[in-house]
Amino acid sequence: MAERKNKTCYNCGCTDYKIMHKGVRDNADIDVLQCKKCGLVFLSDNSHIGPDFYENGGMIAGYSLESWINNTKIDDKRRFLFLKNKIKNKVLTDFGCGNAGFLNNAKNVCKKVYGVELQKDLYEYFRSCSLDIFQNISQIPEKSDIITIFHVLEHTKDPVKTLESLKPALSENGRIFVEVPNTKDALISLYKSKKFQDFVFWSCHLYIFDKKTLEQTVKKAGYKIEKFSYIQRYSLMNHLYWILKKKPGGHKVWAKYDFKIINILYSFILKLFGITDTMIVEISPC
């Protein structure tokens, strides 16, 4: 058995943990641990994420740019619609902008958009979209009214430091929107789908938060919480497919049964119990 390198909780320093899942989908030697005190979920080892990992596209290895852009279209639109009124005529930076799908939506209503992305081979594509993307947030020539950081924090080795690094780039009265996956996802916490856990736990997700541990992390980084929202990305048919067929993609295979009205109600119930797949927190510096 591989030696467990991470034995103390990043969030609270506690050394008492349970093994939540043996192995992750791309590495049988890395276990998913959960702190018994605060509930933070973290990997038994994160030494595989070196300084060049994201620069060289390690996260999306094997995907073409075209299929990646297609795969994120629904989330890009959802994020845009969620923030549309708040970002109008504002200067916005998307930190860890990936394929810039969100920025390509946001640029139509913002005063100016910027992105921060480590992955080098995307820069030619960014130029073709006339987007100003930088490797480091300190290179952006002006302060931003809004900074978005979607599904990035769980990939960083030091989430508090990552959040702290955004502060100098934020204008006075600026806001940051942090979106991350939720440990309490119904497929894990309610339906306890073993196959879903085999699929979802991944060597790139170094930490998985719930409402409490996310709020503790942002407070530690010197922010106050303006608003917290639970978001459900996947539909009822996706969940039923996991439960009955033990596979992903139910929202596509059973699309004809996936009625919008049912999903609105289903999301409402999941939000009520805090067991959605996703969370967004709006924060500002203390």
Would you tell me which residues interact with Zn ion (CB under 5 A)? 9, 11-12, 14, 35, 37-38, 40
Nearer to Zn ion, 34 or 99 (CB): 34
Nearer to Zn ion, 12 or 272 (CB): 12
Nearer to Zn ion, 15 or 139 (CB): 15
Taking 3-state DSSP, the helix, strand and coil percentages for the chain, each rounded to the nearest 5, stand at 35, 25, 40
CB 29 within 8 A of CB 39: no
Nearer to Zn ion, 37 or 219 (CB): 37
CB 33 within 8 A of CB 43: yes
> Which among 262, 104, 281 is positioned nearest to 179, based on CA atoms?
281
Nearer to Zn ion, 197 or 213 (CB): 213
CB of 208 to Zn ion, least distance (A): 13
CA distance 134 to 117: 6
CB 223 within 8 A of CB 284: yes
CB of 14 to Zn ion, least distance (A): 5
CB of 42 to Zn ion, least distance (A): 9
What beta strand segments (E) does the chain contain? 17-21, 32-35, 41-43, 91-95, 112-116, 132-134, 144-150, 170-181, 207-208, 223-231, 278-285
Place of tokens 């608003």: 227
Nearer to Zn ion, 104 or 216 (CB): 216
Nearer to Zn ion, 171 or 216 (CB): 216
CB of 200 to Zn ion, least distance (A): 21
CA distance 244 to 196: 12
CB of 285 to Zn ion, least distance (A): 25
Nearer to Zn ion, 30 or 41 (CB): 41
How many Cα neighbours within 13 Å face the side chain of 110? 24
CB of 44 to Zn ion, least distance (A): 14
CB of 80 to Zn ion, least distance (A): 34
Rg (C-alpha) for the chain, rounded Å, is: 19
How many Cα neighbours within 13 Å face the side chain of 81? 7
User: What tokens does 49 get?
Assistant: 């994420």
CB of 113 to Zn ion, least distance (A): 36
CB 224 within 8 A of CB 284: yes
